[in-house]
Amino acid sequence: MKRLSQVTAICLSLAGCGKAQALVPDASNPEHCVVAINFAGYWIHKAGDPQMILESKVRLLFEMKKMQVAGYAVNGPTANQRALTREYGHANDKTMNKLVEDCISAEQRDPKFHAAIPYLEKAAEQMKDPWTE
């Protein structure tokens, strides 16, 4: 029993046990922000505001580009994204709502985001709405 608690303590101190590390929402991780923006975009799509839908697509494209630059695959959801969605992707999940807010705040502070908006808007206008059912 003591051995098990030592192994558990070591595992937790390394913060790398299984998928638990992926389930800690992190607004500095573009992989997580794609999940958050996608989550928000779904509900914005439900509300039907075209300008907000366009903004959501712009933000989604920006985060996907950051993922691509960081070396992540962007051709489908990653295992971490699926796990994060399973854990926090519920309609009233406060953790996901906080992640959305934190990701948007980070974008607002990022000069690269503001510089890219004109290009992202053009791409977003051509992009199929990812939240259509």
At 61-78, the pLDDT tens digits run 999 999 999 998 888 888
pLDDT band with cut points at 50, 70 and 90 for residue 133 = low
Q: Is the pLDDT of residue 18 over 80?
A: no
Q: Is the pLDDT of residue 126 over 80?
A: yes
Stretch 39-46: mean pLDDT: 93
> In this structure, what DSSP letter does residue 15 have?
T
Q: Is the pLDDT of residue 7 over 70?
A: no
Stretch 38-53: mean pLDDT: 94
Comparing CA positions, the residue from 65, 9, 18 lying closest to residue 37 is 65
Helices and strands per DSSP (H, E), number in the chain: 6, 0
Stretch 93-102: mean pLDDT: 93
Stretch 44-53: mean pLDDT: 94
Stretch 18-29: mean pLDDT: 72
> In this structure, what DSSP letter does residue 20 have?
G
- 50: CB partners within 8 A, 6+ apart: none
The model's pTM: 0.80
pLDDT band with cut points at 50, 70 and 90 for residue 12 = very low
Sign of CA dihedral 111, 108, 130, 82: positive
Q: Is the pLDDT of residue 83 over 50?
A: yes
CA distance 34 to 118: 20
